[in-house]
Each structure stands twice: as structure tokens, then as C-alpha cells.
């Protein structure tokens, strides 16, 4: 707590009021009167006598102190000394030996305010039956140190203000005494009456202590202002005035174990609500009944005195802090460390914590701390496989998939009929099936797939994700994005006359190259539109031969390639066998059987998390949801993630796999992550979600070992990696490598010819999240010129 | 740029060791000035200098004075975006405000003449640059928007440079979201692009506009411009849409401009513009390189070797060189390139100086800024080089892991 805060929280009004009522300030150092001295001596002897053998445990000063407080009442002093110093020597040790009256006063003030509970201020507030769970926890305000102002140094030396306060107290006492014609005996009698009253447990003694404002019998001028703060200070002062008079909690049962310990915190009396409070909370019941105390109890209130004493000294942290503050000559934190000890430290830490927080009041999502890999092993879910559908434009990819979904009853006939009607009105009735996947207005009006469409279906053993890729050459970046998420591919070939040949020159070949360079090894070739050539077996064989020819040339193994004659429009050999008698010659499996025969690729489950964002959108669940396929690793709810290249941290609020809410996701699953604690501006399509501890680096220059499909030379290229699409430049080509052995054949070639494998250095215009082992495709002027692995 | 002063009557051929006084009139002239002025040249131009005087009592008083200063150039800085040229050097002619040897940076301004002396005389390249800069028949500038879904590069193609004015990026929801999202996302993107285009390029005087993209984006954008023009009754926009040419490009990145500039739509209207010619030269070179028949080479050392052999000469020899190489602050380097150009011209070959600030120049830059088409094939020009820089990689046998 800084000194400023101490000042701010200090109740000046109280002191100022006290000033107004007093004129003589300078006589506080007055010595004891001769009568007092005589009485003190007599008392001391009597006390010693009463204590008997235990008298050695207390000092004369302590006895005198006690006597002074009890106004020479021997019995009470003895009782006090026994409990305070003899019964608990620890407490005696901690109590400073005080001789000076002023010090006694200030010391007691200190004591009482330390254990003073602020929760009790409001204990009688009519909170209007607020449900328990909505009640806030009470944080005690910073209250001034008992040493008043300026008591930074030794506790024994009262500051000016302190002295003034003491002077006022003394004066008040003297006034009291004066009213009784300086009759000390009278005062003593009064006090003894008081103590008797207290012993009887009647509230008479407590009355003047209760914060009743102007009605207080011994009201000082200050009490004319019945502000809550003033009243509190007033009350505090009175407690101080009376020293350590034991005040049993009369109106409130206290949970504290021992009420007899004089050191114990006197429970504050419930006060009548102030005018302000009454305005705020309506008319309080005439006699406000204290609410159950548990409501606003501070956690350390219930501590026993010994435990609470553990915090009365400066905490180790505070010692260090104050030492540092002293060293750096800063006043900061020095005051906080001295007086209120652990109590204030807690508050300091809390306030620092508040500052450190970014004021995002949404709580962080809770993590269940699952062992995701184990969970995954235990969950015997269906194997989940995703495949990409590729082929030349207009080969019928979308229609084929639309038919598949219709036959598997993922889409109902009514929807198709509706599409057919709409398509008819646009003069494109044959596109009705494709509209299941082509949902964009543009795609429908132009009859061309533009972006990857994803859809799902399940068979008995497998859950499939369809990635329907566009065939048009302009949208190859989108197709690459799809292929990068696929385990295997369905290559659709148009069997109708002329179309196959056109496709072979066009995207059939390029797509085959691309899926191979994206790491796909299994291909199902769907020879589509075979009904247009009368299910001719010759045509099928011819196409099979040509296609397997170039697939082998692009490094596919024939055992991973299968051919199925199908008709997407009519649905032959897809889910059901063809009913056409002309197609009887085909004895192989249907398309769906071939799909089920395909195995997913091995998943990198134990690698650090990587996921390429393929979609960013808003949902009702979260303002920022990202979708994509987890490339490697695993994640669960509550995880902290890093988004690259922006380098921003985010938390997983919730997860969806296959549109089902889940607690975790692993590599290979198409996942939707609902993120929190991140600004949507930092997240773009093509970014990578990665592990906070093992993040992916952002680089702008990288080397790939690439297979050239076209002539390579230093040139400008488009760099593709999944959804990521960036502009770059081939800076240099350090070497041409041997295809099989990987040895350097030629260094620094000027030109790399198609079919060669070369090491190529590419520089990007911006930094991108890339790491070794990723598959990169280089394109230029709308053609794929190279593909390879990042080194 | 205009030639002014007493020597304006002088014919350019007569420029020997002399000086020329030039008056830049448009931003493009600053680019020419940047190519003309090299280190060690002497420039005299108007300057604003802060002069601080100290009185007898020690109080200082500073004043901005307008004066003419003559400096010997140590370096130049050209700000492409603002088209302003700052020339730094030491003062060589004293006046009442500055002493000899003090440094000053001249900010050359439009419509303020400056005089340039070449210490080492005007070499062939410098003369050519000067002639080009003085050419009166200016080609119009072309505005182009190279775009794809979510990205638009707005640029201005002038005769000598391509200036990227602004890049617009916008997130467009993908297919999964409802199609209305997608449409509104697209509209937002178009709106952003159009307002940026209007702000960054002045369409007050009608100028050709190229819209290029893969797929249908550019076409849709053109439709959007005309729709917006009709809706807002904005004549400029409607004229813009009318003048716009939609061209196909394979991506929305700026280097697709190469593709755009050789598309039939562009060639039909802008065939003779310098940038279009340069693009064709580059394509020619790349076609040659593709053949790999030993007749096309790139890189400084190989080209120098070929030129010294006289292989770049009469009958199809072409030397292509980026003008950024002449901007070299090192005089010896500049001289080397100038000699190369002169040698090719002597041999009867063609020396094409390509503007490095065009996309074609960027392509040449990737090849090291210099390339040549030879009259006869020369093989193994790069062999020596390999031996020279044996960096010990030869012996390394790598693990036989296949890419595919």
C-alpha cells in the first residue's frame, strides 16, 4: 500500500473534528500526578502479592500498565495479567513493554484496529434477500495504520497527528476526570461500575460503544456528524480509550473459540443504518436483526488468535519488498509492508493481478485435462476417412457425389426434387444432383464448382468426409486445399467421346500430379458417364489402360489404383449394382465398396498440434470459429493455442468433430474449434493453429526438394500449402539431385528441366508458417511447375 | 521533363562534358532523374536550408533561407510511393549561408529546375536515359486491379514503372456458412476494393482500367462497378466500368501482371506501350531459356563471358539488362555495365534496358538483372563457375529419399 493510499483512506474528518473540540495540545507529556504515583506503587505491590509465585513472569511496567488501564482495580488487573502475560507468554512477548501512557494508547488502538472486521459494517444491512450465490465476497477497504500518519519508522515515536490525537484523548479523560472534580477515586468507581456492568453481561457498558451517533452519552464534538466512517472511527477510538477492556460480544454469537482472551477481536456492534444507507436500501426494520454472520465473513476471521498472529508481522514477501523499496529509495510498498502485514500483501497482490488482467471478464474455458491419446484409443469410434474428388472440369464430380449422398439417404428425394425444379427454371436440369454440394449462388448459376465442398456420410464401418474439389483450372488453389486434407482420392474421368481425351490433356493429369505430390497414394478411378457410350467394355478398358499408364508415370502403384464404371446421373454401380443388362460384364465392386476398402493414412497423433484453418466464421456459440482438419497432434477443450503467423494466443472454448460437440480431437478429424480470447482480425484462412509450447515457425525463405513438372529457373511463383496461398520467388537452385539415390548430379544449374528433382530455394513476400516435412506446390502462370517436401 | 536554360537550343548529341538544366514536370520525371543522377555528379538546385546564427550575446536565431546550392552527390534516395527524390552530397560552391564541405540533402521538386554536370562525361546509357526522359509523347498510364477472392492489388502501370498503390484484403466466408454470408462477404470485398480504387487512383480523366482475376471475380467486379455507378448516379464510375477490360489471370498476386500484359485483350489496345514490349522481351527470353539449347544465359559472369566472346552480336544477339544495375553507386560497376552495353551495340547486337520497376523487370531481377540471347549456342558457360565456388557439397551423398 502506498503512502498515498494510506492518506486517501484515512479518515481526516475524525481527527479534524477532534481538533475543533480541543485547545490545549501540548500537555500530553505530563508526568503522573503524585497521587497517581502513590496509588500506582501501592497497586503494584498488591498485584505482585496477588500473583504470588507467578509475579516473576510479569514486569513492573506491565503491572503498572494494567493498573493504569483498570484504574487501580487490583482484581481486574490481576485477572488481566494472568490471562495476558502469564497464561500466554507468547502474547506477552509480542506485547511491547509500554510505559508511556501515550504509547499505551496508540498500541491498543493498533491492536484493536488490526483485528477489526469490516465485514461487520454491513452485517445488518437489509440486502433484500439476495440469493446466496449472488452475494459478492467482501473485500475490506484499506484502513489507516494504527500509528496514524507518518508512523513509518519506529512504532514508539508518535507522529504529530498521532500526538494530537493522543492529546485529545488525554484531554477527554481529563475532562471526564474534571467533571468529577479531579476525583480519581470517582473515576475508578465509575470504571469499576462499568466493569461490573460488563461482567454481568448487560449491554449497558456496550451502549456507549455502539455506534448510535449523537445519542452517545459521552459524545465528543466529532459524533455530531453521523457519517458511517466517522462513526466507525469514533467507535474505534472509544475502544482505544477503554484500552483492552474485555467486551464480550453481546448481540452476536461469535464463532471465535475464546471470548475471554483480551486480545480477541471485539465483534463490532450492529449500527443503525445511516440516512444514506436507508435511502439506498429502503427503510430498515426498526430493530435490524443481524443477518447470519457467515454471509460476509472474511476467510481469516475464523482463525484463532495464534493463526491470525502469524500474519500480524510483515510477510517474507513484504520484507523483501520493503528492502527493495528502501534500496531504491522508493516509498512505494514500504508502508504496506510494515503495518498490516499479510493482509495488505494479499490486497496488493490482488490489485496487481487486476492490473495484469486484460479486463476480459469472460472466464477462461476450463480444461478437463484429459489424456487425449488414451481417450482416443479407448473410444472405439468408426474409422474416419476423408477423400477428395478430383477430375477435369465437367467430368461430373459434384453430380457423382450428389448421387452418392442421395442413394445413401443422406439427402432426401424431396430436396433433390426441389433442386431439380429450380435447376429446370434455369435451364440446367442435369445439375440438380450437383447442387447438393454446389451451394453458392455463383456455382449454381454458372454450373461450375468453385470452392471445396465438404459433406459427410457413414457406412457401417466407416465415417467418410467428402471433399468435392473444383475441376476448373482457375480454382486449382482450392483443389490443392482439398487434396491436402484427404486420405485418398476419387479421380472422376468422363468416358463420353472426346471428353476423356480433353480431360487427359487438361486437369485429369494435373490433378493426378497434384494429389500425388500432396501425399495421396490410393486412387479410385470412377469412369463416369459410361451410359452415354452404351456401357461399352472396350471404352472402359481403353480408358483404364490410358489412365493407369499415366498414373504409373506419376509414381502411383497399380495395386493402389482401382477402376469402377459408373453413371453419376443414374446411379449405376455406385451404391447399387447397375441394373442395365449392357453393364453385366463388370463384376468388380461398386464405388461404395471400393471406398470402404480404402484405409486412412497413418495419423501423426503424438506430434505437436498443427491444424490448417480452412474456414473462419461466426457462430452463435462463439464469435470466432475455425474449421479444418487436424494435421497432427491432438487438442482438447480449454487448451491454449497459438495462431500463426499472427502469433496470437487463443483458448479452445469448445470443439466439434463431425458437427457433434466433443471434448477432444485428434489428427485426421475434421474439427471446428470455437475460440475465445482472440480478436478475429488475427485469424485468416490458411493460418495454422498450433501448440503453444511447440509452435510452428514463420519463415520467408525455405528450401524444398522438388520434382519439376515444368522448366524451373529463378522466377516468380505462387506457393501453395493447403489453404495457404502466397506469392514468392525462386531465388536459386543449389543442385539437381539423383532421382533414386538423392546425390547431387549438378550444382547450381541455370535451368531445371521437367522430371528432374532439384533443391530449390524459394523466398516469400511475407513470412508464413512453414516447417520441415510439409508438402509444397509451386505454380506459375496457372500451371503447376513443381511440388516437393520442405527441407 | 523539359530542357531549359541557355543550352536548351543545344542538340543532345552535343552534350559532352557539359551540363544540362532540366525541369521536371510530372512525378515520372523524378524517376528519370533518379536514373540520371549518380554518385560524383554535380547538382545545382534550389534548396531550403535552416541557417542558425549566433548573436554577440550568445542567443541563437535560426532562419529558413531559400537559396541555390551546388553539391557533389554522395547518395540518392527515391521514394517510389511518393515519387520524390532526395539527393545527398557535400556543398562545393560556397555562398553566404553555407560553407564548402557542408552536407546538404536536396529535395528535388516538380516545376523547379535543376542542373546536372557529369564528372566523367555522359556515357551512352546516360545519354539514352536523358533522351527518354525528354520524350514528349507520353504514353498514358493504365490502372489495373489484380484480384482473387479476398485479395485485390490496385496498381498503376506507367511507362516506366508499376506502382502498387494499395492492397485490399478481406475475409470471405467459405462454403459451409449460409450462402447469404458468402454473398454479403463478396459485396463487402467489392465495396472495399472499389472505394480504395477510387481513392488511390484519379479517374477524373478517363483512363483504361484492367481487371484481372482467376474465375469470375473480375467480371463480377466490373458488374458491381457499373451497378454502383447506376445506383449512385456517379458518372465517373459508369465511365470506369465502360473503360474496364476484364482479363484472365491465374492468381491475384501482383506477379500475375506478366500474364495479364500479354493477354490478347491487353495486346490489342496497348501493344506498343513500353511495358507491354518489355513483357514480350522477357517472354522471349524465358522461352529460350526453357529450350536450354545453350543460346540463352543469365547471370552476370556468364553473360559477361558470352559478350566478351562476341556471341551477343549481329543476327539475333540480345542483351537484356535491368536499369537498376546502372543505378549502382559504385562508379566502376556502372562503367562495367556501360561497357557491356556498348560492346553489344558495337557487335551489332541489341541492348535492351528494362525498367526494373515493372513486373517484367522483377522477373529479370530474379535472374540476376542481366540475361542474353546468343547468336550461336555456347555450352558449359557456367562450368568454370562451379569449379570456382566448390563449396564442398559435391562429396556429400544424401539419403535416398524420394519426394514422390
Residue B176 has a pLDDT of 56
Q: Which tens digit of pLDDT belongs to each residue from A661-676? A: 888 888 888 888 998 8
Interface touch B400/A685, C-beta < 8 Å: no
Q: What's the average model confidence in pLDDT over B289-307?
A: 86
Interface touch B398/A711, C-beta < 8 Å: no
Q: Is A733 on the interface with B (CB under 8 A)?
A: no
Whether the per-residue pLDDT at B16 is higher than 70: the answer is: no
Q: Is A727 on the interface with B (CB under 8 A)?
A: yes
Whether the per-residue pLDDT at B264 is higher than 60: the answer is: yes
What is the nearest CA distance from A673 to chain B, expressed in angstroms?
A: 14
User: Are the CB atoms for A466 and A389 separated by under 8 Å?
Assistant: yes
Whether the per-residue pLDDT at A145 is higher than 60: the answer is: no
Taking contacts as CB-CB distances below 8 angstroms, the residues of chain B near A744 are 393-394, 396, 398
Whether the per-residue pLDDT at A366 is higher than 80: the answer is: no
Of B215, B254, B363, the CB nearest to A475: B215
Q: Is A734 on the interface with B (CB under 8 A)?
A: yes
Whether the per-residue pLDDT at B86 is higher than 90: the answer is: yes
Closest by Cα among A96, A141, A95 to A116? A141
* End-to-end alpha carbon distance in chain A: 56
Q: Is A787 on the interface with B (CB under 8 A)?
A: yes
Q: What is the mean pLDDT of chain B?
A: 82
Whether the per-residue pLDDT at A208 is higher than 60: the answer is: no
Residue B386 has a pLDDT of 44
Higher-pLDDT residue of A376 and A17 is A376
Of B215, B248, B385, the CB nearest to A450: B215
Mean pLDDT is lowest, of A213-227, A434-448, B202-216, for A213-227
Which residues, 6+ apart, have CB-to-CB distance to A465 below 8 Å? A384, A385, A386, A387, A454, A455, A456, A658, A670
Higher-pLDDT residue of B326 and A205 is B326
Q: What's the average model confidence in pLDDT over B260-266?
A: 84
Higher-pLDDT residue of B403 and B203 is B203
Higher-pLDDT residue of A216 and A365 is A365
Q: Is A454 on the interface with B (CB under 8 A)?
A: yes
Whether the per-residue pLDDT at A356 is higher than 70: the answer is: no
Confidence of residue A342 (pLDDT cuts 50, 70, 90): very low
For residue A48, the SS3 value is: helix
Taking contacts as CB-CB distances below 8 angstroms, the residues of chain A near B401 are 742
* End-to-end alpha carbon distance in chain B: 57
Higher-pLDDT residue of A141 and A344 is A141
Mean pLDDT is lowest, of A41-45, A172-176, A608-612, B346-350, for A172-176
Q: Is A299 on the interface with B (CB under 8 A)?
A: no
User: Are the CB atoms for A694 and A633 separated by under 8 Å?
Assistant: no
Interface touch A742/B215, C-beta < 8 Å: no
Whether the per-residue pLDDT at B89 is higher than 90: the answer is: yes
Kindly tell me the burial class for residue A242, based on how many C-beta atoms sit within 10 Å of its own C-beta (0-12, 13-18, 19 or more). Answer: buried
Residue B57 CB neighbours (<10 A): 5
Whether the per-residue pLDDT at A264 is higher than 60: the answer is: no
Confidence of residue A373 (pLDDT cuts 50, 70, 90): confident
Report the alpha-carbon distance of residue A291 to residue A126 in Å, rounded.
Answer: 8
Interface touch B253/A446, C-beta < 8 Å: no
Q: Which residues of B4-19 are buried (b: 16+ CB within 10 A; e: fewer)?
A: eeeeeeeeeeebeeeb
Report the alpha-carbon distance of residue A556 to residue A562 in Å, rounded.
Answer: 11
Higher-pLDDT residue of B217 and A293 is B217
User: Are the CB atoms for B147 and B153 separated by under 8 Å?
Assistant: yes
Q: Is A29 on the interface with B (CB under 8 A)?
A: no
What is the radius of gyration, based on Cα positions, of chain B? 26
Mean pLDDT is lowest, of A151-155, B28-32, B248-252, for A151-155
Confidence of residue A310 (pLDDT cuts 50, 70, 90): low
Nearest CA in chain B to A627: B176
Interface touch B397/A741, C-beta < 8 Å: yes
Residue A482 CB neighbours (<10 A): 28
Give me the percent of chain B exceeding a pLDDT of 70.
87
Of B179, B249, B403, the CB nearest to A439: B179
Q: Which tens digit of pLDDT belongs to each residue from A151-183? A: 444 455 656 777 777 778 877 777 766 555 545
Report the alpha-carbon distance of residue B159 to residue B258 in Å, rounded.
Answer: 15
Q: Is A755 on the interface with B (CB under 8 A)?
A: no
* Torsion angles phi and psi, residue A78, rounded to 5: -60, -45
Interface touch B179/A787, C-beta < 8 Å: no
Residue A333 has a pLDDT of 42
Taking contacts as CB-CB distances below 8 angstroms, the residues of chain A near B258 are 716, 781
Of B216, B259, B302, the CB nearest to A781: B259
Residue A231 has a pLDDT of 47
Taking contacts as CB-CB distances below 8 angstroms, the residues of chain B near A516 are 404
User: Are the CB atoms for A547 and A509 separated by under 8 Å?
Assistant: no
The percent of chain A in helix, strand and coil, each rounded to the nearest 5, is 40, 20, 40
Report the alpha-carbon distance of residue A165 to residue B260 in Å, rounded.
Answer: 90
Q: What's the average model confidence in pLDDT over A569-584?
A: 85
Q: How far is CA A231 from each of CA A11, A86, A120, A298, B301, rounded to the nearest angstrom?
A: 11, 35, 13, 22, 94
DSSP for A105-152, written as a single string: HHHHHHHHHHT--GGGGGTT----S--GGGPPPP-PPP---TT-TTTT
Residue B222 has a pLDDT of 93
Which residues, 6+ apart, have CB-to-CB distance to B374 below 8 Å? B294, B295, B296, B297, B306, B311, B312, B317
DSSP for A186-216, written as a single string: HHHHHHHHHHHHHHTT-TTTHHHHS--GGG-
Of B215, B290, B404, the CB nearest to A474: B215
Whether the per-residue pLDDT at A396 is higher than 50: the answer is: yes
Whether ipTM > 0.90 holds is no
Whether the per-residue pLDDT at B36 is higher than 70: the answer is: yes
Q: Which tens digit of pLDDT belongs to each residue from A593-602? A: 888 888 887 8
Residue A261 has a pLDDT of 44
Whether the per-residue pLDDT at A509 is higher than 90: the answer is: no
DSSP for A583-638, written as a single string: GTT--S--HHHHHHTPPPPPPBTTSPPEEE--EEE--SS-SEEEEEEEEESEEETT
Residue A315 has a pLDDT of 67
Residues in chain A: 791
Q: Is A6 on the interface with B (CB under 8 A)?
A: no
Confidence of residue B118 (pLDDT cuts 50, 70, 90): confident
Partners of residue A497 on adjacent β-strands: none
Q: How far is CA A397 from each of CA A392, A410, A511, A683, B177, rounded to the nearest angstrom?
A: 9, 17, 13, 31, 22
Confidence of residue A628 (pLDDT cuts 50, 70, 90): confident
Interface touch A707/B363, C-beta < 8 Å: no
Preferred mutation among A714, A759, A766 to probe B, highest tally of B CBs within 10 A: A714
Q: What's the average model confidence in pLDDT over B118-122?
A: 78
Q: Is A517 on the interface with B (CB under 8 A)?
A: yes
Give me the percent of chain B exceeding a pLDDT of 90.
15
Q: Which tens digit of pLDDT belongs to each residue from B136-164? A: 766 678 889 999 988 999 998 888 888 88
For B166, what's the count of Cα atoms within 13 Å in the CB-facing half-sphere? Answer: 13
Residue B403 has a pLDDT of 42
Preferred mutation among B173, B189, B215, B261 to probe A, highest tally of A CBs within 10 A: B215
Residues in chain B: 404
Size of interface A-B (CB pairs under 8 A): 144
Q: What's the average model confidence in pLDDT over A139-146?
A: 59
Which residues, 6+ apart, have CB-to-CB distance to A470 below 8 Å? A393, A448, A449, A450, A451, A452, A476, A478, A479
Q: Is A745 on the interface with B (CB under 8 A)?
A: no
- Residue A377 C-alpha cell reads as 484409443
What is the nearest CA distance from A777 to chain B, expressed in angstroms?
A: 12
Confidence of residue A3 (pLDDT cuts 50, 70, 90): low
Closest by Cα among A20, A17, A11 to A223? A17
Report the alpha-carbon distance of residue A263 to residue A75 in Å, rounded.
Answer: 19
Confidence of residue A19 (pLDDT cuts 50, 70, 90): low
Taking contacts as CB-CB distances below 8 angstroms, the residues of chain B near A625 are none
Residue B152 has a pLDDT of 93
Of A451, A780, A788, the CB nearest to B174: A451
Cis amide leading into A645 (omega within 30) = yes
Whether the per-residue pLDDT at A471 is higher than 60: the answer is: yes
Q: Is A730 on the interface with B (CB under 8 A)?
A: yes
Confidence of residue A239 (pLDDT cuts 50, 70, 90): very low
Q: Which tens digit of pLDDT belongs to each residue from A696-750? A: 989 999 999 999 988 888 888 999 988 888 899 998 889 999 888 878 888 888 8
Give me the percent of chain A exceeding a pLDDT of 70.
63
Interface touch B404/A474, C-beta < 8 Å: no
Report the alpha-carbon distance of residue A114 to residue A116 in Å, rounded.
Answer: 5
User: Are the CB atoms for A569 and A433 separated by under 8 Å?
Assistant: yes
For B200, what's the count of Cα atoms within 13 Å in the CB-facing half-sphere? Answer: 21
Q: What's the average model confidence in pLDDT over A265-270?
A: 51
- Residue A444 C-alpha cell reads as 449454381
Preferred mutation among A615, A623, A747, A789 to probe B, highest tally of B CBs within 10 A: A747
Nearest CA in chain B to A776: B403
Residue A704 has a pLDDT of 92
Closest by Cα among A318, A314, A331 to A150? A331
Residue A623 has a pLDDT of 82
Interface touch A685/B174, C-beta < 8 Å: yes
Q: Is A516 on the interface with B (CB under 8 A)?
A: yes
What is the nearest CA distance from B247 to chain A, expressed in angstroms?
A: 13
What is the nearest CA distance from B292 to chain A, expressed in angstroms?
A: 7
Q: Is A475 on the interface with B (CB under 8 A)?
A: yes
Of B286, B393, B403, the CB nearest to A757: B403
CA B185 to chain centre: 35
Amino acid at each position: 500500500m502506498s503512502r498515498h493510499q494510506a492518506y486517501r483512506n484515512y479518515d481526516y474528518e475524525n481527527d479534524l473534528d477532534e481538533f475543533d473540540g480541543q485547545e490545549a495540545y501540548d500537555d500530553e507529556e505530563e508526568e503522573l500526578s503524585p497521587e497517581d504515583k502513590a496509588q500506582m506503587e501501592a497497586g503494584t505491590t498488591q498485584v505482585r502479592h496477588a500473583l504470588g509465585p507467578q509475579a516473576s513472569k510479569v514486569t513492573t511496567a506491565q503491572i503498572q500498565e494494567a493498573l493504569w488501564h483498570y484504574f487501580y482495580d487490583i482484581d481486574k488487573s490481576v485477572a488481566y495479567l494472568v490471562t495476558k502475560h502469564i497464561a500466554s507468554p507468547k502474547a506477552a512477548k509480542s506485547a511491547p513493554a509500554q510505559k508511556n501512557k501515550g504509547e499505551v494508547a496508540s498500541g491498543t488502538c493498533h491492536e484493536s484496529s488490526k483485528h477489526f472486521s469490516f465485514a461487520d459494517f454491513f452485517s445488518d444491512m437489509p440486502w433484500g434477500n439476495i440469493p446466496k450465490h449472488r452475494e459478492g465476497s467482501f473485500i475490506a477497504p484499506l484502513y489507516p495504520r494504527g500509528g496514524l500518519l507518518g508512523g513509518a519508522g519506529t512504532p514508539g515515536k508518535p507522529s504529530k497527528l498521532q500526538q494530537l490525537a493522543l492529546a485529545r484523548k488525554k484531554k477527554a479523560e481529563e475532562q471526564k476526570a474534571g467533571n468529577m472534580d479531579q476525583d480519581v477515586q470517582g473515576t475508578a468507581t465509575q470504571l469499576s461500575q462499568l466493569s461490573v456492568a460488563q461482567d454481568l453481561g448487560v449491554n449497558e457498558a456496550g451502549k456507549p460503544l455502539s455506534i448510535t451517533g449523537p445519542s452517545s452519552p459521552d459524545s465528543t464534538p466529532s459524533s455530531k456528524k453521523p457519517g458511517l466512517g466517522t462513526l466507525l472511527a469514533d467507535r474505534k477510538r472509544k475502544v482505544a480509550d477503554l484500552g483492552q477492556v474485555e467486551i464480550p460480544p453481546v448481540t452476536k454469537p461469535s464463532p471465535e473459540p475464546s471470548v475471554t482472551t483480551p486480545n480477541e477481536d471485539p465483534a463490532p456492534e450492529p449500527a443503525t443504518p445511516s440516512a444514506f444507507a436507508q435511502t439506498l436500501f429502503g427503510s430498515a426494520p426498526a430493530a435490524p436483526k443481524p443477518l447470519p454472520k457467515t454471509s460476509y465473513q472474511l476467510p481469516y476471521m475464523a482463525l484463532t488468535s495464534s493463526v491470525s498472529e502469524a500474519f500480524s508481522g510483515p510477510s517474507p514477501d513484504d520484507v523483501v519488498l520493503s528492502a527493495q523499496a528502501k534500496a531504491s529509495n522508493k516509498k512505494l510498498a514500504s508502508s504496506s509492508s510494515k503495518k498490516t502485514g499479510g493482509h495488505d500483501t494479499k490486497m496488493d497482490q490482488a490489485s496487481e493481478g487486476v492490473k495484469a488482467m486484460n479486463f476480459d471478464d469472460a472466464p477462461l474455458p476450463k480444461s478437463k485435462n484429459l489424456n487425449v491419446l488414451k481417450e482416443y484409443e479407448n473410444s472405439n469410434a468408426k474409422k474416419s476417412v476423408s477423400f477428395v474428388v478430383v477430375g477435369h472440369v465437367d467430368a461430373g464430380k459434384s453430380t457423382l457425389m450428389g448421387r452418392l449422398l442421395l442413394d445413401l439417404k443422406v439427402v432426401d428425394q424431396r430436396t433433390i426434387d426441389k433442386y431439380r425444379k429450380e435447376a429446370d427454371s434455369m435451364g440446367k436440369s442435369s445439375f440438380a444432383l450437383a447442387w447438393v454440394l454446389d451451394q453458392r449462388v455463383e456455382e449454381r448459376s454458372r454450373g461450375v464448382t468453385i470452392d471445396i465442398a465438404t459433406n459427410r456420410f457413414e457406412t457401417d464401418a466407416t465415417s467418410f468426409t467428402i471433399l468435392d474439389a473444383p475441376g476448373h483450372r482457375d480454382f486449382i488453389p482450392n483443389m490443392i486445399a482439398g487434396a491436402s486434407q484427404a486420405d485418398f482420392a476419387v479421380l472422376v474421368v468422363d468416358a463420353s467421346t472426346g471428353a476423356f481425351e480433353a480431360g487427359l490433356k487438361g486437369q485429369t493429369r494435373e490433378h493426378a500430379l497434384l494429389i500425388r505430390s500432396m501425399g495421396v497414394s490410393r486412387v479410385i478411378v470412377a469412369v463416369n458417364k459410361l451410359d452415354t457410350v452404351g456401357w461399352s467394355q472396350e471404352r472402359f478398358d481403353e480408358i483404364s489402360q490410358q489412365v493407369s499408364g499415366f498414373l504409373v508415370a506419376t509414381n502411383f502403384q497399380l495395386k493402389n489404383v482401382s477402376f469402377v464404371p459408373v453413371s453419376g446421373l443414374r446411379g449405376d454401380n455406385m451404391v447399387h449394382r447397375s441394373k442395365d443388362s449392357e453393364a453385366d460384364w463388370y463384376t468388380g465392386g461398386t464405388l461404395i465398396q471400393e471406398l470402404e476398402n480404402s484405409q486412412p493414412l497413418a495419423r501423426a497423433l503424438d506430434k505437436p498440434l498443427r491444424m490448417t484453418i480452412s474456414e473462419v466464421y461466426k457462430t452463435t456459440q462463439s464469435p470466432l470459429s475455425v474449421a479444418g482438419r487436424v494435421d497432427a497432434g491432438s487438442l482438447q477443450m480449454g487448451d491454449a493455442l497459438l495462431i500463426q503467423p499472427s502469433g496470437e494466443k487463443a483458448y479452445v472454448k469448445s470443439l466439434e468433430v463431425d458437427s457433434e460437440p466433443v471434448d477432444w480431437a485428434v489428427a485426421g478429424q475434421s474439427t471446428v474449434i470455437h475460440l475465445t480470447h482472440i480478436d478475429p482480425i488475427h485469424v485468416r484462412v490458411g493460418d495454422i493453429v498450433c501448440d503453444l509450447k511447440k509452435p510452428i515457425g514463420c519463415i520467408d525463405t525455405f528450401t524444398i526438394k522438388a520434382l519439376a513438372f515444368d522448366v524451373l529457373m529463378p522466377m516468380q511463383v505462387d506457393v501453395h500449402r493447403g489453404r495457404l496461398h502466397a506469392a514468392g520467388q525462386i531465388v536459386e537452385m543449389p543442385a539437381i539431385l539423383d532421382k533414386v539415390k538423392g546425390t547431387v548430379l549438378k550444382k547450381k544449374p541455370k535451368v531445371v528441366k521437367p522430371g528432374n528433382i532439384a533443391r530449390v530455394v524459394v523466398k516469400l513476400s511475407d513470412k508464413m508458417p512453414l516447417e520441415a516435412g510439409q508438402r509444397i506446390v509451386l505454380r506459375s502462370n496457372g500451371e503447376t511447375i513443381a511440388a516437393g517436401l520442405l527441407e | 521533363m523539359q530542357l531549359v536554360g541557355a543550352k536548351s537550343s543545344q542538340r543532345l548529341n552535343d552534350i559532352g562534358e557539359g551540363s544540362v538544366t532540366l525541369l521536371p514536370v510530372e512525378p515520372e520525371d523524378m524517376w528519370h532523374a533518379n536514373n540520371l543522377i549518380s554518385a560524383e555528379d554535380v547538382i545545382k538546385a534550389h534548396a531550403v536550408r535552416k541557417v542558425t546564427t549566433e548573436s554577440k550575446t550568445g542567443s541563437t536565431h535560426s532562419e529558413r533561407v531559400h537559396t541555390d546550392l551546388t553539391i557533389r552527390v554522395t547518395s540518392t534516395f527515391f521514394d517510389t510511393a511518393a515519387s520524390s527524390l532526395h539527393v545527398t552530397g557535400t556543398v562545393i560552391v560556397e555562398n553566404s549561408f553555407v560553407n564548402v564541405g557542408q552536407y546538404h540533402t536536396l529535395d528535388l521538386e516538380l516545376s523547379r529546375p535543376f542542373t546536372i554536370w557529369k564528372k566523367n562525361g555522359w556515357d551512352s546509357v546516360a545519354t539514352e536515359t536523358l533522351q527518354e526522359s525528354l520524350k514528349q509523347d507520353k504514353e498514358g498510364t493504365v490502372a489495373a486491379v489484380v484480384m482473387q477472392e479476398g485479395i485485390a492489388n490496385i496498381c498503376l502501370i506507367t511507362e516506366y514503372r508499376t506502382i502498387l498503390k494499395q492492397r485490399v484484403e478481406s475475409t470471405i466466408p467459405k462454403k459451409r456458412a449460409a450462402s447469404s454470408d458468402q454473398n454479403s462477404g463478396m459485396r463487402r470485398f467489392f465495396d472495399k476494393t472499389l472505394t480504395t480504387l477510387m481513392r488511390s487512383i484519379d479517374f477524373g480523366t478517363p483512363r483504361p482500367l484492367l481487371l484481372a482475376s482467376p474465375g469470375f471475380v473480375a467480371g463480377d467486379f466490373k458488374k458491381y462497378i457499373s451497378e454502383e455507378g447506376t445506383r449512385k448516379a456517379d458518372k465517373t464510375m459508369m465511365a470506369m466500368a465502360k473503360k474496364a477490360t476484364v482479363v484472365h489471370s491465374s492468381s491475384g498476386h501482383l506477379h500475375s501482371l506478366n500474364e495479364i500484359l500479354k493477354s490478347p485483350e491487353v495486346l490489342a489496345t496497348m501493344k506498343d506501350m513500353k511495358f507491354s514490349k518489355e513483357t514480350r522481351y522477357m517472354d522471349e527470353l524465358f522461352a529460350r531459356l526453357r529450350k536450354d539449347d545453350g543460346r540463352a544465359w543469365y547471370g552476370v559472369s556468364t553473360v559477361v563471358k558470352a559478350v566478351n566472346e562476341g556471341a551477343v552480336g549481329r543476327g539475333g544477339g540480345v542483351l537484356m539488362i535491368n536499369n537498376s544495375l546502372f543505378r549502382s553507386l559504385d562508379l566502376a560497376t556502372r562503367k562495367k555495365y556501360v561497357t557491356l552495353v556498348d560492346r553489344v551495340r558495337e557487335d551489332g547486337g541489341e541492348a535492351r534496358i528494362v525498367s526494373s520497376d515493372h513486373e517484367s523487370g522483377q522477373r529479370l531481377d530474379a535472374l540476376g538483372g542481366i540475361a542474353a540471347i546468343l547468336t550461336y549456342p555456347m555450352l558449359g558457360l557456367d562450368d568454370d563457375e562451379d569449379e570456382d565456388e566448390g563449396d564442398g557439397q559435391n562429396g556429400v551423398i544424401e539419403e535416398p529419399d524420394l519426394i514422390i
